[in-house]
Amino acid sequence: MDETEEEQERGVTIEVTTRHFCTANRNFTILDAPGHRDFIANMITGAAQANCGMLVIDVQPTAFERGWGIGYGGGTTQEHALLARSLGVTQLVIAMNKMERVEYSEDRYHEIHDQVKPYLLTIGFKESDLYFVPISAITGENVAEKAREDRLKSWYGAESDTLVDILDRLRLP
């Protein structure tokens, strides 16, 4: 969704970008807010307008740890979740992205899940309002259609929810 030349060159979202899309059941407006610490003010602008949030986590080795602050100093992922919650976001989808880069590893998924979920509960999210989903945005795996990749289906299940399934079930504001 990054449109500006600077965003594309740097590989980070700088401005809040708005996109509209529809599923079979609902119309959505996505506010793609920056995750980089240099653009926190822009992230706050986006989160303040949100009815629900999506925390997109890069599951690649060291990428999650850097964002979460493990061994790298204060990461921004925890800070963004806290800011979103304090701005009134009560429902949160946690999209574990780039699963293809870790061979759709169930162990990696659970390692991250088991660090993120307790933190989200301590900052005020309710367990019933947290939705974790493994995806590959680049391949579309488990985004709108059920998992096709055998390495993911073997543990996530062919009948488990896609990202779009989860979005369609969110409570309306």
The residue behind tokens 């600077």 is 6
The number of distinct structural domains making up the chain is: 1
As given in the structure block, the two tokens for residue 37 are: 């610490």
Report pLDDT for 19.
78
Whole-number average pLDDT of the chain: 83
Residue 61 within a domain:
yes
Residue among 34, 114, 29, 103 nearest 70 (CA):
114
Instruction: Please give the share of the chain, as a percent, with pLDDT higher than 70.
Output: 76
Residue 146 within a domain:
yes
- Alpha-carbon Rg for the chain, nearest whole angstrom, is 16
Q: What is the CATH number of the domain that holds 116?
A: 3.40.50.300
Look at 156 and 17; give whichever has higher pLDDT.
156
**How large is the average pLDDT for residues 94-112?**
97
Which one-letter DSSP state was computed for residue 161? Answer: P
**How large is the average pLDDT for residues 74-101?**
89
Residue 131 within a domain:
yes
Residue 66, beta-bridge partner list: none
As given in the structure block, the two tokens for residue 173 are: 């504001």
Report pLDDT for 51.
81
Band of residue 46 on the pLDDT scale cut at 50, 70, 90: low
**What are the tens digits of pLDDT across the range 4-29?**
555 445 455 555 677 788 988 898 87
Distances (CA, A) of 127 to 1, 54, 90, 121: 29, 15, 10, 7
Distance CA(13)–CA(163), nearest Å, equals 21
**What residue numbers bound the domain in which 121 lies?**
52-169
Query: Quick one: the chain helix, strand, coil %, rounded to 5?
Result: 40, 20, 40
Question: Read out DSSP for 27-59?
Answer: EEEEEE---SGGGHHHHHHHHTT-SSEEEEEE-
Residue 81 within a domain:
yes
Q: CB–CB of 28/167 below 8 Å?
A: yes
Residue 154 within a domain:
yes
Band of residue 87 on the pLDDT scale cut at 50, 70, 90: confident
